Structure 1
Amino acid sequence: MKILLIGKRGQVSRELQLCLAGTGELIVPGREQLDLADLAQIRQQVRALRPELIINAAAHTAVDQAENEPELAFALNATAPGVLAEEAAALGVPLIHYSTDYVFDGSQNTPYREDDQANPLGVYGRSKLAGEQAIQAVAGAHLILRTSWVYSLHGRNFLLTMQRLLQERDEVKVVADQIGAPTWAGTIAAATTGLVQRWRDGKAGPWGLYHLTATGETSWFGFASAIAEQLQEQGQLRAKLLPIPSSAYPTPARRPLNSRLNCARLQSDWAIELPNWRSALLDCLRNPR
């Protein structure tokens, strides 16, 4: 099977390249070969490669920066996924695409289900929601996987930032009133690989929109505390952690206070088991790759 994986250097893509190795012929073009801002190039490359599966792990993910460059955010997160969906449908192959908890405003008290009302608070969330809608409008075979609080040992993310700050500073203040599920990129890649395998084995569930995060919940402060515990075990913890409200840490883009996603549909429809966020964090830290 020929798989086209878009997004060569991202956190999820790096883990996918490891998990999908041996699944088939994996084609991972860099931005020079396939730039999501160049729609003609997208169409040309997909038609030339004729993959049997397309996985889009590329996106504009700089949440605050998106507020200042909405055109680029929408080009990468909305327009390009729609074109990928059109090309996938023309080939008669599935598209797997990743979305975000930021499509919700966080005002709900319970974990969000797939059919709950979306109401993004900023440009990033609006652009990702527009990407979902563009894919759904094509009506081809697709999986849109919403996830949250993605981290890994590569790139720029909360885990790496906290590891650095907790070793450098005497005091670190972290928001404690935003709740969600930290999700290791390796968890996303493993679940995606499971979905691909079930599809190849003729055991696919319904195509469509699903939530995919680690299980359990915590705050950013709770996540930072778990990171601090691991540093303390290694004798590398310096800073004292202090919880603060979101109001004490203003950012250009507003964040949802409730980022919890209900993943029951993915588990029931596709038989995908997801790990607890704490165990996944330990797996990430203890198995660097």
Structure 2
Amino acid sequence: MDKQNKIRIFRYNAATNQVHIAEWDVRKVMGALLVAGTGFIVSFALFIILTFNLQDNRQISALERQNQVLQEHLARLSEKASAIEQQIQHIKQQDEQLRIFASLPVIDEDTWTQGTGGAELDVDEETGFLPKPIHYKITEIEKHLGKFQKQLGLAEEGTRQIQRKLQENFDLLSHTPSIRPVVDGIITSRFGYRTDPFIQKKKMHNGIDLLAKPGTPVIAPADGVVEFVRSQYSLGETYGKVVVINHGRGVKTRFGHLGKIYVKVGQRVKRFDPIGQVGNTGRSTGPHLHYEVIVHNHFRDPLAYILD
């Protein structure tokens, strides 16, 4: 064997006081080192690969779990969106009923679909990177929520409109004469042409006469403001003691032949408030109340306004 390819290693044994000489083949030593180094590198590489694969598997498992949880949340959101849609349908039905009651036009389905207010949402830019099923579900829910927001805005505005109209109607009703100014008063003369008891000729009777005992209370038939009071009169005055109430919107009521008057000019009165007593003053044949309804300076049949 070539001595240049050998390595001599001297080891001294103190016990025997001898020197031992060992010879190693360089090529074998190098081969063994090469094999050992290669094995180490391969083992290390496998370790790295397995470690990263394990981490990737854990990440994939975590992502799959997150995906599952996200889909479960989206499913619950879809159920809530469906419940909200049913509630909005109920709101639409109530809105229609209230509008009919308030004499307002009903909102058509096209207007409900369009709604009012709310911002347009661009979910594609925010969720486009997600898996298609999740992206589609999010887009669908966002569109429904946007539609609900607009419909609720329309319902809110509709509610305010209905409230204003009902208030107007309430004010109109409260200021419209609708009850007899003398409870249980007996009608002895109606609105229209009749034979005048004093001149015995046909003459227009601009109101109705309600027979009642002297001192019977006379009440306001609607809310209003006392516009005119005459407690002193001459023999030629037709109505005698008289009160005129202005109910607004061009509607007035007049009460003639009163025995006593309880109100004064400018006083606000409510329906059922006493304003005087039945009497026999002025051009009268006996105790009664002469009652007139005047709308925009035109006399109207009071019986058309009495609902009781």
Provide the TM-score with structure 1 as the length reference.
0.20
Please tell me whether Structure 1 or Structure 2 has the larger radius of gyration of its CA atoms: 2
- Higher relative contact order (Cα pairs below 8 Å, separated by 6+ residues): 1
Provide the TM-score with structure 2 as the length reference.
0.19
